[in-house]
Amino acid sequence: MSFADKAVMVTGAANGIGRAIAGRFAKAGANVVIADVDEQAGRVAETELTGAGHKVKFIPCDVGDEGQVRQLMQDALEFGGPLGVLVNNAAILDSADFLDLEASEFDRVLRVNLRGAFLAGQAAARRMVAQVKAGGEPGAIVNLSSINAVFALPDHVAYSISKGGIAQLTKAMALSLAPYNIRVNAIGPGSIRTAMLDKVMSDESVRTRILSRTPLGRLGEVEEIAEVALFLASPAASYITGETIYADGGRLPLNYTVPVEGA
């Protein structure tokens, strides 16, 4: 599956799932723009991928800032050419119970997770529509939602709400852009092996709880989410739009817990 000479922008791509997605599109031949507020990690990702022979550029960007998103789009087009794919991955997490959550923290999370996806999505969509009107190919947008769009968490209230909002934003964007054949879909990851989750999994009770709700009996890998993103952005998914694909090891259909080896 090739994305040769296509510009692909991935937000929140300095680490974790975003980093894996950027790397996968780079391996598929895309001109990849890594956007993130973490400049140190972003530069490292750029160096690693360019060192492997890929065309990659890191651009610092706070996706909650409209001016920075506008500049990101301009810089990305100058680097990679016509925009083929946007992956809206940038997100942050809150960690307070509903009764204790400060309004400022709620606003902080929604600003990045939902406002940021709207701003980047709208900027990319406007560019893609202009390209279509000029006779170019339609692009695709992939938003990162979460299993927590369905299963809320009382101590990650703003995060859960933002990911539910991403699912609805995806549908609204898909309907708006369908006349231009620009497809918009989302991915809802379950428990994915990242540095943060690995640290949490060192607690045996947490490990048991997480695996007991995962029928496949393991964590997902960031590379597996990257493959879903590549598929949704590709011609192989040409009749799919407005959907959220839950890559969660079977958690969503589960209505019971499963035994965990060693528990």
Residues belonging to the active site? 159
Classify 31 in phi/psi space as left (phi over 0), alpha (psi -120 to 50) or beta. beta
Give the separation between CA 205 and CA 49, rounded to whole angstroms. Answer: 37
Q: Can you name the residues that pair with 189 across neighbouring β-strands?
A: 247
Whose structure tokens read 């949490």?
200
Q: Which residue has the tokens 């040769």?
A: 4
| Other residues' Cβ atoms within 10 Å of the Cβ of residue 67 | 9
Secondary structure of 176-193 in HEC code, one letter for each residue = HHHHHCCEEEEEEECCEE
- Tell me the three state secondary structure of residue 2: coil
Contact 35, 116 (CB under 8 A): no
What is the distance between the alpha carbons of residues 87 and 75, in angstroms, rounded to a whole number? 16
Contact 138, 241 (CB under 8 A): no
8-state DSSP, 230: H
